Amino acid sequence: MPLAPWAWLSCCGRRRDEHRLEGRSLLPENTPHWELLQSEEASPPTFEMSEILHPILEDAPLWSLKPRGSSPYTWDGRLLAMDQGLPKPLAIFEAGECHVVRRGGPRPLLQVRWIQRDMGWGAFTMQNLAVGEFVCEYTGELLTDAEAESRCTGPGRDAYLFNLTTPQQCTRLGVQVPSSADMADPVFVIDAYEKGGVARFLNHACGPSHAANVTPIYAYTFDSEEPVDARLPHVALFTNRAVTKGEELRYDYGMPPEAVQSADGAARHQPCLCGSSVCRGRIY
């Protein structure tokens, strides 16, 4: 299932055979809603600020997914499941007049600043946030799972990856997947190490806990009645409690022990310093 390098779709709600875009690179953010504070203790991080767009998949059928259900939001645009204390949904669906993740409008003002050597940089909110508010989207390069694994050779490198839906999860969403699919592993991964947005600065905190005040959720956005590809959701980050101005924003990376392995098959581990009441002692 070859992925055309640097070929991107700006409209995820269209059929892939209606678009033939060549050589389009990641687009810069037009209206950044965050700022980076300089630090005398550390050099500014080097990465290309960009937002992910959906790729053209050549010679591969669409894993067709259509919009469903009512709006997942309250009247003021907060995630209903968080507001009502319901279990985290596997995915949410935006269609019609429902615009939160895809609206490209106002976002809460965030600030990225140096914390300390052991922790590195972190993202903080510069305004009070209510429960269920959309914070930002996890963006970066879209890679196949195999390519992402090949890039992770250094300590902590894996922490910049975000797995998209697995075939098993796509099945739970009602999608018919190929019988040859590896049900447990994601087809695609977002890599924010060299290219990404503010979400790359959100640190890990073991959860559920007061420290892990943000929750990532897959979001499918529909600009028309045409289906989208179930393998390519957005990754939207929402607050799971009220957050006070000045708090650091963190979420549980959800990387189980033994999940990260080196080239020789040995398990790699990254210690956790979150200090939460349920800290597991390591990120993975």
- Within a 13 Å sphere around the CA of 124, how many CA atoms are in the beta-carbon half? 15
pLDDT per position as a tens digit, 1-48: 333 222 222 222 222 222 222 222 233 344 567 888 877 787 777 777
d(CA 62, CA 115): 43
For residue 280, is it within any domain?
no
Q: Is residue 275 part of a domain?
A: no
Q: How many helices (H) and strands (E) does the chain have?
A: 3, 17
Position 162 in a domain: yes
Two tokens at 136?
């930002």
Q: Phi/psi of residue 159, each to 5°?
A: -70, -10
Q: Which domain holds residue 106?
A: 3-251
Nearest to 13 by CA among 164, 257, 232: 232
The verdict on residue 279 lying in a domain is no
Query: What are 108-112's contacts with CB under 8 Å, separation 24+?
Result: 108/33, 108/133, 108/135, 109/33, 109/34, 109/35, 110/33, 110/34, 110/35, 110/135, 110/136, 110/198, 110/249, 111/34, 111/35, 111/36, 111/37, 112/34, 112/35, 112/36, 112/37, 112/198, 112/201
Total count of domains within the chain = 1
Q: What is the pLDDT of residues 47-78, one digit of tens each?
A: 777 666 555 555 556 788 888 888 999 999 99
Structure confidence at residue 138 (pLDDT): 92
Position 180 pLDDT exceeds 90: no
Q: What is the DSSP string of 191-213?
A: EEEEEE-GGGGPEE--SSSSS--
In a domain? residue 257: no
Binning pLDDT at 50, 70 and 90, where does residue 154 land?
low
Give, as one character, the DSSP assignment of residue 17.
Answer: G
Task: Kindly state whether residue 68 falls inside one of the protein's structural domains.
Answer: yes
Q: What is the pLDDT of residues 137-150, one digit of tens each?
A: 999 888 888 887 77
d(CA 11, CA 227): 11
Question: Residue type at 150?
Answer: S
CATH of the domain at 23: 2.170.270.10
Could you tell me if residue 114 is inside a domain?
yes
Domain membership of residue 202 (yes or no) is: yes
